[in-house]
Amino acid sequence: MTLFLRSHARIRPFLAFALVLFAGLVQPAPSLAQVRPVLSLGGEVRPRLFGREPVLGQWDHWISMRTRVELKARFQSGFGLFFQAQDVRFWGEELSNRDASADRLDFHQAYLEVDSVPGIGGSFRAGRQEVALGEGRFISAPDWGQAGQSFDGVRWLRPMGEASVELVYLRLQEGSSSGHDTSADFTALAFSSSQGSLGSVDFLAVHDRTGGSPETSRTTIGPTWWKRSGIVSFRFQAMKQFGEAAGRDISATMLAGRATLHWLDDRARLTLWYDRLSGDSDPTDNTSRSFSTLFGARHRYYGRSDFFLDIPEDTGGLGLRDRALKMEYYPTDLLSVYLDFHSFRTDEQGALSDRNLAEEIDLWVQYRFRDTLDLEVGYSFTRAGAAMEELGRLDGTANLAYFMTSLRF
């Protein structure tokens, strides 16, 4: 493990791609019947009517739309290719109705995949891709944001019965490109164990580095334990962050726990939820205690009003405590109803008069209108506390409402 934590400087992208090349070289030569791949076409069109208040003191409304077209090619020799083009835009954003620039059109994903790597087994994927590890806490493939999130890099996933191990290397920034002055990388090791009488333990270790002076070199590491007994399930996670950032040592922690009651044949669930992300009460000393959620799915965890998308920045570096009650109800196979109550506090008070950030209520309903068409409607209400107002994030209350359709094929 020590080697993994320190190997970031030694790991280079060409090693990963060399493994793909090696896998291709040692595979048997494809026959003529294998030359033509099996092709499948898919995609999605997802418009969303969105309203938020206050925006400059009043309600503001807009429609955004995500369009994706994807092509998958599978070869009998165990190789695959996947391409996913994406366009995200606001309705009416073009300068004219003759605008042909297509400036929002890009490859969201484009990668090659090896089904079984010779010698070591497991699948290998290289290219631009979505990545989600450890419940999406620190790196995720969030579906709420219209643009989503994808990375350039390589992944190796090795199932071992009911358990699995996964290695990930991502190139976040390339200093040799025109867009960046420094390079940045992300390396991760994830292990999921099989379910036993005492539950299951998953393990995640992440190292992210950004070059420059001073350099950022940060490690996030820890286990997750989960177990279900009858109609009750539990999940606890403890993570430690350490390293260096902006010339300061890092010593931060995250604790997360939840207990869920399942009833009506699991068509109804009630969850008690608590998250604590440490904060820094003294930004002038040599140690930073602010925990970072890196590239995690914040919308999924910290309220659907999205006031806490960038932690620690959105809480002034003072951390976050989230006490929540979450309810889910699935009256039919086509209908889902969700209701969340959040109480947000800073972890440290710092120079604030109070730790109270906000109270939030989120309600949303999903309905499968057709096999390929989903409808979703939601509403969120947020009431700011003293801390939220003093941080300049929100005064008074905020409302959010949306209606979204998603057509997949």
Domain boundaries, the chain: 2-408
Burial class, 239, CB count within 10 angstroms (exposed 0-12 / middle 13-18 / buried 19+): buried
Element (H, E) at 22: helix 13-26
Question: Which of 3.90.1200.10, 1.10.599.10, 3.90.800.10, 2.40.160.100 would CATH assign to domain 2-408?
Answer: 2.40.160.100
Mean pLDDT, range 245-272, rounded to an integer: 96
Summarised one tens digit per residue, pLDDT across range 114-161 is 998 888 899 999 999 999 998 899 999 999 999 999 999 999 999 998
CA–CA separation, 129 vs 155, rounded Å? Answer: 9
Instruction: Determine the pLDDT at residue 200.
Output: 95
- pLDDT tens, 283-340? 999 999 999 999 999 899 999 999 999 999 999 999 999 999 999 999 999 999 999 9
Taking the CA atoms of the chain, what radius of gyration do you get in angstroms?
23
Q: What pTM does this model have? A: 0.88
* Whole-number Å distance between alpha carbons of 384 and 360: 9
Which tens digit of pLDDT belongs to each residue from 362-396?
999 999 999 999 999 999 999 999 999 999 999 99
Write out pLDDT tens, residues 177-208: 999 999 999 999 999 998 888 999 999 999 99
* Cα distance between the two ends of the chain: 43
Per-position b or e across 157-168, b if 16+ CB within 10 A of its CB = bbeeeeebbbbb
CA 277 to centroid of chain Cα atoms: 17
**Which pLDDT does position 101 carry in this prediction?**
80
User: Is it the case that residue 216 has pLDDT exceeding 60?
Assistant: yes
